[in-house]
Structure formats: structure tokens, C-alpha cells
Amino acid sequence: MPDQRLSTTTFEELAMPLFDQLYNFARWLTQDTAEAEDLVQETYTKALRGFSSFQIGTNFRAWMYRILRNSFLSSRSGLKTTVAIDDEDKEMILVEPGPTPESLAIEQSNREVVQQALGELPVHFREILLLCEVEEMSYQEIAQALSIPVGTVMSRLSRARKTLRTLLQQKFAGGPHGV
């Protein structure tokens, strides 16, 4: 790794464009505005402090998300989710939804339902879906942001989607005023 160091001006230039997305991500993780702000604040403070050790050529966005996520995991509300993440190998047995594409033709009008379902997902499913779908990160980037191997990214994504589909099916089955 080259011992190149970026100036702090560059940090601002790199980090501020990520601000909206990082906040959105933090808000989804914490499910609370004040906690999300604290988390983003902490992320920027830590990142600025650690920026001199940030290596050029490393994915800056993934690095920022990793800081945010590690900060979240060590926070009060984050600690509650740790169990779920450690429990990954003993995934809850999902109801196999089967290929029912018709039921999944989710319209824009169902946005609130999807948001509700996302909020109900375990944090480690929610975050990987957000990174993949909202941030449009590659598997490689997600692996860096979550500090997990690419293989785990794929399997966790697959499980996250299955869980989400199950949740959505339950909601749609329950009608517009569903569960």
C-alpha cells in the first residue's frame, strides 16, 4: 500500500456527497431520528480522525459505511441486534414462498408496505438490502462495508430477500389494512 495521505480538504469533498445516503442508512438502522443523527455525527468524527490512515485505492464509500455500521453495532440500540447477526448460521426457517411472481408485482403505491416490511426485517437483513438496492453497491463493496466475505454477502442477500418476500406476502394477503 502506498503511504499516500489525502488532505483534509479532500475528506470534505469525498465525505459530504455521501451525507444524505449515510443519514438514510443510519436512520434505517436506528429507526430513530436523534439516534441516526448521533450515529452520523460519530461516523464523520471518526472518519475525519482516521482519514490520515485511509489508503488511496481503498473504496471510500465502503469505508464510511463500515465506520457507520461498526459505530452502530457498538451503540446501545446496535448491541441489541448483535445476537441476531451472530446467530446467522441458525437462520430462522423460512416459509418457502415459492415462485409466485404475480404476488410480487409490487407497485409504487405499495411503497409504504415495503417500508413497513423493511423496518420489520432483522437489522442484518435490512442493512444488506439497503446497501444492495438503495446504494447499488457491488457484492465486493458490500463485503468491505460489512466486513464479511463475498460468499456470505450472497447467501445473506438471498435469505434477506426470501424473508422480505414472505413478509410482503403476509401483508398483501392481509389486504390493504393488513397485519
Partner 1 sequence: MACEAWRDKLDLYADGELAPADASTLNAHMRTCSDCAADALARVQLKRSVAAAGNRYQPSAAFRARIAGSVAAKPRRQANWWWKVVAVPALAVLLISVVANFYVQTQKARQQRTFSELADLHVGMLASAAPFDVISTDRHTVKPWFQGKIPFTFNLPELQGSEFTLLGGRVTYLEQTPGAHLIYQLHKHEISVFIFQDHGTNAANLPPGSVHALSFNMEGWRQDGLRYFVVGDVGPGDIEALSKLLRGAS
Interface positions with partner 1 (CB under 8 A): 7-9, 11-12, 15-16, 19-20, 23-24, 27-28, 36-37, 40-41, 44-45, 48, 99, 101, 104-106, 108, 110-112, 114-115, 118, 129-130, 132-134, 136, 138-139, 154, 157-158, 161, 164-165
- Cβ closest to partner 1, residue 39 vs residue 81: 39
Residue with smaller CB distance to partner 1, 3 or 112: 112
d(CA 120, CA 50): 34
Smallest separation (angstroms) from partner 1 to the CB of 117: 8
We find the least distance from the C-beta atom of residue 159 to partner 1, in angstroms, to be 11
CB of 109 to partner 1, least distance (A): 11
Could you tell me the CA-to-CA distances from 18 to 41, 81, 85, 97, 146 in Å, in that order? 13, 25, 26, 36, 17
Instruction: Give the residue with the Cβ less far from partner 1, 86 or 140.
Output: 140
Q: Cell numbers of 67, please?
A: 465506520
> From the CB of 92, what's the least distance to partner 1, in Å?
19
Least distance between partner 1 and beta carbon 69 (Å)? 16
* Distance from C-alpha of 64 to C-alpha of 74, rounded to nearest angstrom: 16
- Burial zone of 175 (CB within 10 Å; 0-12 exposed, 13-18 middle, 19+ buried): exposed
Grid coordinates 446467530 are at which residue? Answer: 87
Cα dihedral sign, 159-162-168-170: negative
